[in-house]
C-alpha cells in the first residue's frame, strides 16, 4: 500500500510539470524585458517569433504555435498553428514591464457556434485568457506583468498562453 501511495504521488508530481521544461532562469530588472529577449524566449518554446514594428513604431512580435507536438494532458495534443502577436507596454528605453499576448480569428460573426453565451461561458470559467468579438473578429488576450521577476516567470506565461490557446480553440470548436 505504501508503494502505491508513493508511486501515485510521484506520478502526480510528474504530470504537474509543464509540457516543456523551462529553458533558463535569469533575473529580470525592475524595468522588465526587452523585445529581443522575449523573441529569444519565444523561440526556445517553439513559437516561430519575428520581431516587427507596429504602425505606431512600437515593437510587436508575430508568433505561431507549432502545428504538432504539444501535449497539455488533454485533447488530441495539438495547438494547431495559431498565429498570435506579443506587444509591450510600460517601456523605459528598451525594457518593458508588461507583455500582451493576442490572437484573432476573422469572420467570426457568421459562425453559428460562436455565440455570446459561449464566449461568456469561456470568460466566466477561465481567468487568464479573455475572449471577445470586435469588428467581426473573435479575439483572445492574455496580459502579463513581468517586471522584477525572472525569465522563468516569462517562460511560464509563454507555456500558459500556448495551453490556453489550445483549450480555447477546442472549446470554441475552431
CATH of the domain at 103: 3.30.1460.10
Show the domain range for 111: 2-172
Asked if residues 46 and 60 have their Cβ atoms less than 8 Å apart, the reply is no
Burial class (CB in 10 A: 0-12, 13-18, 19+), 113: exposed
**Number of domains composing the chain:** 1
* pTM, entire model: 0.78
Q: Which three cell numbers stand for residue 101?
A: 499576448
Name every residue whose Cβ is closer than 8 Å to that of residue 125 and which is 6 or more positions away in sequence: none
* pLDDT (tens digit per residue) in 38-96: 999 999 999 999 999 999 999 999 999 876 444 444 334 444 689 999 999 999 999 99
Amino acid at each position: 500500500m505504501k508503494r502505491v501511495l508513493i508511486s501515485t504521488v510521484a506520478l502526480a508530481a510528474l504530470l504537474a510539470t509543464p509540457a516543456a521544461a523551462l529553458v533558463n532562469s535569469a533575473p529580470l530588472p525592475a524595468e522588465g524585458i526587452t523585445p529581443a529577449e522575449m523573441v529569444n524566449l519565444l523561440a526556445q518554446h517553439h513559437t516561430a517569433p519575428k520581431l516587427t514594428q507596429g504602425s505606431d513604431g512600437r515593437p510587436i512580435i508575430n508568433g505561431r504555435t507549432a502545428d504538432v507536438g504539444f501535449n497539455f494532458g488533454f485533447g488530441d495534443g495539438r495547438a494547431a498553428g495559431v498565429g498570435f502577436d506579443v506587444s509591450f507596454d510600460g517601456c523605459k528605453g528598451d525594457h518593458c514591464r508588461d507583455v500582451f499576448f493576442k490572437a484573432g480569428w476573422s469572420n467570426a460573426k457568421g459562425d453559428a457556434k460562436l455565440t455570446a453565451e459561449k464566449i461568456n461561458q469561456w470568460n466566466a470559467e477561465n481567468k487568464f485568457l479573455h475572449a471577445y468579438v470586435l469588428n467581426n473578429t473573435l479575439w483572445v488576450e492574455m496580459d502579463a506583468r513581468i517586471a522584477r521577476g525572472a525569465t522563468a516567470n516569462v517562460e511560464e506565461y509563454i507555456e500558459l498562453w500556448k495551453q490556453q490557446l489550445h483549450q480555447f480553440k477546442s472549446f470554441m470548436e475552431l
